Amino acid sequence: MNTRAFQSPELLRAAAPMGRGDVLGILAVRNERLRLPVVLDHHRRLGVDRFIVVDNASDDGTEDLLAAMRDVQLYRATGQYGACSLGWDWLHPLLDELADNHWILTFDADELFVYPRCEQIGLQEFSGFLDRAGSDSVFAIMLDMYSEKSVTATSYRPGESLLEACPYFDSGPYDVIRDAAFPTFRLLGGPRRRVFWSPDTPLHPPSVSKIPFLRWRRGYRYDSAAHTMHPAPEQLAGVTGALLHFKFLSDFHDKAKREATRGEHWGGAAEYKLYLQRLQVKPELSLFFAGSVRYRGSDQLVSLGLCRTLDGFERLAGSAARVMS
């Protein structure tokens, strides 16, 4: 941590007291008013009971939007995102204070978490299954979502379905890269590597995997934007999920310009500088290609081998379906 740049987040609005078994949603945001209403609603429907949100000096109305939500515990951070470990220096102390022994879901403001049978099984039931199985953490692949249009033509208005705007993803290839840190491997691949990277690109393509759902213990720490963590949780679950990632809307070009200038992301925003360079050469760049797959639901991700399920979890889902009918 850069102690000179670090300032503890200021509490702006406290949510209702947290229940012992509440599932907590955790995120840091900056200027995310466009996607945030739909992203939070998705996770509410999954079963997130409370959100702990740190806003990093937004100037697009994000803070006012969040302050009006009763299930959001809202903080303001005025330090530099990059100097504060991409926001984790703000979030880790809050997690230790508020989330010890809670199941937490960490996600960005452009991500939707899904997992096998999430259409039938909520996060409370999912976490209960994991507790009974002796598991305390869930691995997830990140699937970059995109439209059949160019990125700049992929229009979107707040409140609209992100999946209708960007229904496509790459089903592969995804490479497994070994890592010393938990969970001891990462995934690489998807449309960003396919479109923006070439053999002579001087930086490695982004990791497309995270550990977004886990039972938090005081002292846990995420590394490398939640792709790895330490110390290692005790047991990674056999059921895995996915983070549907909606970066590539029509605002992406402007964001690439802004973030390349700010330089707050990894490597002085080297990744955003690469995106901007490619978009300047080809302004009508599209991620769509002959192998693009339209998203149909969690069962599809299991059938494609992108998510894993277990027989016991399928039996739980079958019981839930019978009760609902």
d(CA 274, CA 201): 9
Question: Which of 110, 79, 106, 104 shows the shortest CA–CA distance to 2?
Answer: 79
Q: What percent of the chain has pLDDT over 90?
A: 78
Higher-pLDDT residue of 81, 316: 316
Token readout for 72 is 């959001």
Compute the mean pLDDT over every residue in the chain, rounded to the nearest whole number.
92
Q: Which CATH number fits domain 1-109: 3.40.30, 3.10.450, 3.40.50, 3.40.1350?
A: 3.40.50
d(CA 292, CA 147): 9
Query: Domain limits of the chain?
Result: 1-109, 110-325
| Tokens 């990744």 found at | 271
pLDDT of residue 3: 45
Q: What is the mean pLDDT of residues 129-147?
A: 98
Query: Which residues contact residue 185 at a Cβ distance below 8 angstroms, ignoring those fewer than 6 apart?
Result: 176, 177, 178, 179, 209
Q: What is the mean pLDDT of residues 176-188?
A: 96
pLDDT band at 324 (very low <50, low <70, confident <90, very high): very low
pLDDT of residue 268: 66
pLDDT at 323 exceeding the cut of 60 = no
Rg, C-alpha atoms of the chain: 19
Spell out where 147-255 has E strands. 168-170, 174-178, 185-189, 209-215, 221-223, 228-230, 241-245
Condensed to tens digits (0 to 9), the pLDDT of residues 204-234 reads 899 999 999 999 999 999 997 789 999 999 9
pLDDT at 152 exceeding the cut of 90 = yes
pLDDT at 1 exceeding the cut of 70 = no
